[in-house]
Amino acid sequence: MSRNSFASPRHSLQLLTLLIAIASGCHAPHEVELHPEIKASPRAGVSVTNRDSFTYPGMTIFVKGHYSAEAGDLAPGQTVSFPFDRFVNDEGEHFDISTMKPEVIRVRAWFDGKAVTKFFEVK
């Protein structure tokens, strides 16, 4: 009496359906576009609110191009805020709102190993 080591067609179909359901629920759409709300003021710093229905994974906020603050994962509806002195460049220098203008704020998140970025002009 030998047993067939292959799964039955019914079990294979159930497994395939489960894998498809898991894969489709775990990722943002392939063409990801970010729609965060950005607020910036000299006193309050920068705040970012996720207005999308999916999490922004590994989000980083940049001020004036090369000063950054790591925000981590930002869930839908969640807001993160940083004072300007929390933004640091590669040399360890902090952004100084009294001597510099933010000009542009950039939000970057990572989806399936690809960076998705949104730029905001500060007026």
Distance from C-alpha of 30 to C-alpha of 45, rounded to nearest angstrom: 32
> For residue 50, which of 71, 78, 17 has the smallest C-alpha distance?
78
Q: pLDDT by residue (tens digit) across 22-73?
A: 444 444 456 889 999 999 999 899 999 999 999 999 999 999 989 999 999 9
pTM of the model: 0.74
- The domain locations on the chain are 37-121
For residue 15, name the pLDDT band (cuts at 50, 70, 90): low
The CATH number corresponding to 37-121 among 1.20.120, 3.40.50, 2.60.40, 1.10.10 equals: 2.60.40
**Which residue's entry shows tokens 């705040």?**
47
Residue type, position 62, single letter: F
Distance from C-alpha of 95 to C-alpha of 62, rounded to nearest angstrom: 10
Q: pLDDT by residue (tens digit) across 66-101?
A: 999 999 999 999 999 999 999 999 999 999 999 999
